[in-house]
Amino acid sequence: MPLLEGEYRKTEKIDGVIYDMSPSPNYLHGIVNNNINTIIKTGLKDSLCLVFMENLDFKYQPEKSDDYVIPDIMIVCDRNKIKGGSYTGVPKFVVETLSPSTAMRDLSSKKDIYETAGVLEYWIVSPKECGVQIYYLNDGRYELVNSYILETDKSDEHYNAETVISLRAFPHIHMTLADIFEDVIVD
């Protein structure tokens, strides 16, 4: 379908294939991303690093192609690699928040892209399950180091809402599972 004048469609280009990111995911996706972004932004105050939420293309192999992805959340510290709406450095941290239309790419090809690019920490967040998977890059490969499903019932033996998660490259930035999923209502 052709775009109308002034209309914008978010896309990603992986291995030369363009993926339409429209329509936008549901509102839970935005709530979770905003919660994480807000905590990180506060933690990066007075830092040279910046956090971006769904608004900066990551050109993951600029020397080979014009392929790009748009991470839900990304921390970049090499500001001279930001040009226009793109970043060509290596992010320190990336979050992909699952939605039905992108889950397969987030769990497979985008995970591989971030691993190959050398992104130190990758989170996969599921608003529907209130889940977080945390991968650290070790010897060039991602290792799943933590996997959580939020449990808010204090009487449950698996209660974990107050579990604190710190970012590997920024240990002063931390949040609880309850912080990540604040205002998320699961049916």
CATH class, domain 11-180, is alpha beta
pLDDT at residue 23, as a whole number: 65
Whether 67 and 61 have beta carbons less than 8 Å apart is answered as yes
Higher-pLDDT residue of 21, 116: 116
pLDDT at residue 3, as a whole number: 42
pLDDT in tens, 94-134: 999 988 777 777 788 999 999 999 999 999 999 999 999 99
- Closest-CA residue to 74 (of 121, 21, 140): 121
pLDDT at residue 8, as a whole number: 57
Whether 170 and 75 have beta carbons less than 8 Å apart is answered as yes
- Pick from 6-10, 79-83, 181-185 the range whose average pLDDT is largest: 79-83
Whole-angstrom CA distances from 144 to 147, 159, 174 are 7, 21, 18
Whether the predicted pLDDT of 1 surpasses 70: no
pLDDT in tens, 45-73: 999 999 999 889 999 999 999 999 999 99
Which segments within 59-169 are labelled E, that is strand?
73-76, 82-83, 86-87, 93-97, 121-126, 131-138, 141-149, 164-166
Mean pLDDT, rounded, for 84-91: 96
Share of the chain above pLDDT 70, in %: 92
Share of the chain above pLDDT 90, in %: 76
pLDDT at residue 165, as a whole number: 97
For residues 47 and 185, what is the distance between their CA atoms, to the nearest angstrom? 33
Task: Kindly indicate the confidence band of residue 166, based on its pLDDT and cuts at 50, 70 and 90.
Answer: very high
Residue 169, phi then psi, degrees to nearest 5: -80, -15
pLDDT at residue 7, as a whole number: 52
pLDDT at residue 33, as a whole number: 96
**Mean pLDDT across the chain:** 91
Mean pLDDT, rounded, for 19-44: 90
Whether the predicted pLDDT of 153 surpasses 80: yes
Whether the predicted pLDDT of 14 surpasses 80: yes
